[in-house]
C-alpha cells in the first residue's frame, strides 16, 4: 500500500508533469515558427483567438471539450493531449521509483525529448536549441543528481553519442557523396549520452532503429508519414530515413527509445544481470 504522503506527492508529480507537458506542446508549436514561448497567451492555431483559462487545463480540458476548440469548433491536435498525459505519467512513475533529484533530472530529459520528437515529426528538423545545451545540462545533472550515471559515464556517453554518429555520417558522405547524418541527430545522441551514459546511447541507437523500421513499414502501408509543415532548408543533414520508398522522421523514434531507457534503466539492468 502506498503511504498517504507518498500518494499526495505522486498526485503533485502527476499535476506538475501535465503542466510541463502543456508547456512542451507550446514550445514545440512556437519554436520552429520563431514565436515567443511566453507571449501571447495560448491561442487556437485555427481561429487565432486566445484560449480561455478553463479550456487550457492540462488533460481535463481536452477530455471535456472532446479535443475541439471551444471558439471555432475545429479539432485540437491529439499530440498536445499526448504530451500532457505522457509527461504526467512519466513524472508520477519517476517520483515513485527514483530519488527526487534523479527523478527531476530524468524528467527534464524526457521533456526535452518530447519537444524534439514533436518538432522533428512536424518539420523534419531537430532543434539544436534544445539538444546542444542539453549536453552540458545533462552532464551536470548526471554528475550531481544521477548516481547510476555519474560524470564519467556521462562524459563517455557524450563522446560515443556524438562521435559515433558524426563518424558514421562522414563515412556515408564519402561513400554516397551526400550528407546522411545531421548535426541535429549528432547533438540528440550527444544529449542522450550526457543524461544516460554510453549504454543509453547504444540502447537508443539499437532500439530506436528497430522502432523506426517498424514505424517506416507502418507509414508505407498507411500511405506514408505526413509531409513536413515547411522545408526548413539550409541544413541538408536533417535527412530522414527512407523505408520502402517512404520518408520517415528518425528523431521521434530515437527520442522514444531514449525515453524508455531513462524511465526503466534500473529495471532493465537488473533484469539483464539476473538472467
* pTM to 2 decimal places: 0.87
Strand partners, 242: 247
pLDDT value of position 242 = 42
pLDDT value of position 244 = 39
pLDDT value of position 166 = 76
Q: Is 32 left (phi over 0), alpha (psi -120 to 50) or beta?
A: alpha
Which residues neighbour 193 within 8 Å (Cβ) at sequence distance 6 or greater? 135, 138, 154, 156, 157, 158, 159, 160, 161, 162, 200, 201
Name the grid cell of 105. 533530472
Burial of 229: CB neighbours in 10 Å, binned 0-12, 13-18, 19+:
middle
Strand partners, 75: 68
Query: Which segments in the chain show pLDDT lower than 70?
Result: 1-4, 177-182, 223-248, 272-275
Please tell me the distance from the alpha carbon of residue 214 to that of residue 10, in angstroms, as a whole number: 34
pLDDT value of position 254 = 93
pLDDT value of position 138 = 98
pLDDT value of position 217 = 82
> Domain coordinates of the chain in residue numbers?
1-97, 128-275
pLDDT value of position 273 = 65
The CA angle 185-178-31, to the nearest 5 degrees, is 35
pLDDT value of position 200 = 95
Cα-to-chain-centroid distance, residue 102: 18
Would you say the C-alpha torsion 259, 117, 212, 128 has a positive or negative sign?
A: negative
Amino acid at each position: 500500500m502506498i503511504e498517504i504522503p507518498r500518494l499526495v506527492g505522486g498526485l503533485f508529480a502527476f499535476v506538475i508533469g501535465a503542466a510541463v507537458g502543456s508547456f512542451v506542446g507550446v514550445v514545440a508549436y512556437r519554436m520552429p515558427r520563431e514565436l515567443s514561448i511566453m507571449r501571447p497567451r495560448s491561442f487556437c492555431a485555427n481561429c487565432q483567438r486566445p484560449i480561455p483559462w478553463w479550456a487550457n487545463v492540462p488533460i481535463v480540458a481536452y477530455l471535456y471539450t472532446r479535443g475541439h476548440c471551444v471558439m471555432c469548433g475545429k479539432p485540437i491536435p491529439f499530440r498536445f493531449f499526448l504530451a500532457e498525459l505522457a509527461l504526467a505519467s512519466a513524472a508520477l512513475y519517476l517520483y515513485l521509483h527514483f530519488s527526487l533529484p534523479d527523478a527531476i533530472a530524468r524528467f527534464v530529459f524526457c521533456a526535452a525529448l518530447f519537444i524534439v520528437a514533436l518538432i522533428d515529426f512536424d518539420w523534419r528538423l531537430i532543434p539544436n536549441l534544445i539538444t546542444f545545451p542539453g549536453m552540458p545540462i545533462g552532464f551536470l545533472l548526471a554528475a550531481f543528481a544521477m548516481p547510476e550515471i555519474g560524470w564519467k559515464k556521462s562524459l563517455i556517453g557524450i563522446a560515443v553519442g556524438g562521435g559515433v554518429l558524426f563518424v558514421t555520417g562522414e563515412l556515408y558522405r564519402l561513400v554516397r557523396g551526400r550528407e546522411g547524418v545531421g548535426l541535429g541527430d549528432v547533438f540528440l545522441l550527444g544529449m542522450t549520452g550526457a543524461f544516460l551514459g554510453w549504454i543509453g546511447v547504444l540502447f537508443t541507437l539499437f532500439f530506436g532503429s528497430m522502432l523506426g523500421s517498424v514505424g517506416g513499414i507502418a507509414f508505407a502501408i498507411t500511405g506514408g508519414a505526413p509531409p513536413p509543415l515547411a522545408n526548413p532548408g539550409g541544413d541538408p543533414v536533417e535527412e530522414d530515413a527512407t523505408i520502402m520508398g517512404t520518408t520517415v522522421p528518425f528523431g521521434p523514434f530515437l527520442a522514444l527509445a531514449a525515453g524508455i531507457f531513462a524511465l526503466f534503466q534500473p529495471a532493465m539492468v537488473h533484469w539483464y544481470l539476473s538472467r
